[in-house]
Amino acid sequence: MVLALDYMQQTKTASPELETKAKKYVTQGYQRLLTFESKQHPGGFALWKGGRPSIFLTAYGLMQFVDMQRVHAVEPELLTRMRAFLRKYEQEDGSFAAGNLVHSWGPWKESRFYMTAYVAWALARAGEDTVKARAWLRANEAEVEDPYGVALAALACAAADPKSAESARWAKRLVALQSDGPDGGGWTATEGGTFIGARGGGARVETTAMAALVLLQTGLHQDLAYGALDALVAKRMPDGRFGSTHSTALALRALLAASSGGEALPATQVTVLRGDKRTRTVEIPRGSTEPVRVPVGTLDPADLRLRLESQGRLRGTLSRTTYEEWPKTRLPRGPVALDVTWSARPLAVDQVYEARVVVRNTGSKPAKVVTVELGLPPGITVKPKDVKGAGLQEAERAERHLVLYLDDIAPGDARTLVVPYRTRHAFEAQTAHSRVYEYYVEEEQTVIPPVRLRCR
């Protein structure tokens, strides 16, 4: 929300009502974030309230608050405490010890290089001197060969001085590691994943967003930078996310960087062609940042082309809406299985019943931060605090789902959760579909179809 509000203010696209609403959410988020600061270790932030603060999460939070300063007042003493907390863990040579991550697992928990690069990036963005940390990264650059690690070091240098020879050297290494995937010019993280625990598509989004930020900040290889942004947009989900919260924030930060500081596009036109035949012309006002929606109807075998009639860049997205009846013939089946049981008999109004949710790890590796989205029917009341079960870390109510966060599940192990609910009125309706996945690897999901319930 901070990044969205920043974008709207920079591009002057927010209505007073929308800006007021956005500011309200930012204020609420700021107050909630403050509750995760450790009372025992001031300035340190933890994953859960009252939990053990981590170096990584504190650096991550410091960057959040630095971004927030552009649109909301941030207590200066808070930033001072956070910088001091991080400095306590700085070694004499400028490095930061490994192991103090948001999770106790991950490929980088034994690497000083990745931790040093990440914390140096955060401190430099907060205006801190990171000369010693960057010197240590330069002296130990042989340790890192993967795009994710190189991107972290490049960001640490670019945040301190984007036009320095040091930043250009790291950017050059990063460009050499670019890989053309199915979505265009992106960067693929190593098999082990990222600091936050993302693998697969989520890791690709994070690494590509970081690489785009490096190139945009240094002003180098702009064609590759905009190719990376196109690859990011191709990964955007229908609800606007780019995967997890972390990957979405990184993608938004890259897109915001591309929209800031450049010259406004002059008034222009976009010509829509089918094959060689022009079908319509769309007017784009000078400096416009508002999306222009162009219905194209049913696509026949002829090519659909969009032609920009001036110099500059525009991004287009082609989308379609398809309605499918449940059950689908093939539902996604990931390494974590899900079974949901509702009451078999007709329900009565104003009575309490229970839904039983069983989650089982059928894969060969531990399942981390398992997330269940339990599809709910209309006409019932569910209170997250009433959910019971081993391994439950948090429960949240969404519009049509109850979202449950579980701790790690070993191969072959299962978790059983009991969800009490009260019927409010008579209905005959379907629940939303339900699914389960590792939070940072959402593409490896298991989906089960909706269930029809009846309440008399």
Report, as an integer, the average pLDDT of 412-436: 94
CA separation for the pair 246, 205 (Å, rounded): 10
Q: Which domains are assigned to the chain?
A: 2-258 (1.50.10.20), 268-308 (no CATH), 336-455 (2.60.40.690)
Among the ranges given (126-135, 166-175, 277-286, 379-388), the one the predictor scored with the smallest mean pLDDT = 277-286
Question: For residue 106, is it left (φ>0), alpha (ψ between -120 and 50) or beta?
Answer: left
For the stretch 194-238, pLDDT in tens is: 877 777 888 889 999 999 999 999 999 988 998 898 888 888 887
pLDDT at position 265:
64
- The answer to whether residues 99 and 110 touch, using CB atoms and an 8 Å cutoff, is yes
pLDDT at position 348:
94
Task: Read off the tokens for 213.
Answer: 């930020």
Task: Read off the tokens for 324.
Answer: 């499918």
Average pLDDT over all residues of the chain:
87
pLDDT at position 101:
52
For the stretch 93-137, pLDDT in tens is: 999 987 655 554 455 556 789 999 999 999 999 999 999 999 999
Q: Is the pLDDT at 261 greater than 70, yes or no? A: no
Task: Read off the tokens for 373.
Answer: 């989205």
pLDDT at position 194:
81
For the stretch 289-316, pLDDT in tens is: 667 888 877 766 668 888 888 877 777 7
* Chain centre to alpha carbon of residue 173: 25
CA separation for the pair 435, 374 (Å, rounded): 7
CA separation for the pair 157, 121 (Å, rounded): 7
pLDDT at position 105:
45
Contacts of 198 (CB under 8 A, 6+ apart): 189, 205, 206, 243, 244, 246, 247, 440, 441
pLDDT at position 328:
63
- The answer to whether residues 14 and 8 touch, using CB atoms and an 8 Å cutoff, is yes
Question: For residue 369, is it left (φ>0), alpha (ψ between -120 and 50) or beta?
Answer: left
pLDDT at position 184:
56
SS3 sequence of the chain = CHHHHHHHHHHCCCCHHHHHHHHHHHHHHHHHHHCCECCCCCCCECCCCCCCCEHHHHHHHHHHHHHHCCCCCCCHHHHHHHHHHHHHCECCCCCECCCCCCCCCCCCCCCHHHHHHHHHHHHHHCCCCCHHHHHHHHHCHHHCCCHHHHHHHHHHHHHHCCCCHHHHHHHHHHHHCCEEECCEEECCCCCCCCCCCCCHHHHHHHHHHHHHHHHHHHCCCHHHHHHHHHHHHHCCCCCCCCCCHHHHHHHHHHHHHHCCCCCCCCCEEEEEEECCEEEEEEEECCCCCCCCCCCCCCCCCCCEEEEECCCCCCCCCCCCCCCCCCCCCCCCCCCEEEEEECCCCCECCCCEEEEEEEEEECCCCCECCEEEEEECCCCEECCHHHCEECCEEEEEECCCEEEEEECCECCCCEEEEEEEEEECCCEEEECCCEEEEECCEEEEEEEECCCEEEEC
pLDDT at position 10:
76
Report, as an integer, the average pLDDT of 251-270: 78
Q: What does residue 204 show for φ and ψ, rounded to 5 degrees?
A: -65, -40
- CA torsion angle 358 363 364 368 (round to 10): -60
* Chain centre to alpha carbon of residue 158: 22
- The answer to whether residues 326 and 450 touch, using CB atoms and an 8 Å cutoff, is yes
pTM of the model: 0.76
Task: Read off the tokens for 363.
Answer: 């894969």
- The answer to whether residues 421 and 365 touch, using CB atoms and an 8 Å cutoff, is no
Q: For residue 146, how many other CB atoms are within 10 A of its CB?
A: 18
Rg (CA), the chain: 24
Residue 423 burial (C-beta neighbours within 10 Å; 0-12, 13-18, 19+): buried
Q: Is the pLDDT at 156 greater than 60, yes or no? A: yes
- The answer to whether residues 357 and 339 touch, using CB atoms and an 8 Å cutoff, is yes
Report, as an integer, the average pLDDT of 418-439: 93
pLDDT at position 262:
55
Res. 329 pLDDT band, cuts 50 70 90 = low
Q: How large is the angle between the packed helices 147-160 and 200-218, nearest 10 degrees? A: 30
Residue 133 burial (C-beta neighbours within 10 Å; 0-12, 13-18, 19+): buried
- The answer to whether residues 78 and 33 touch, using CB atoms and an 8 Å cutoff, is no
Specify the amino acid at residue 325.
E
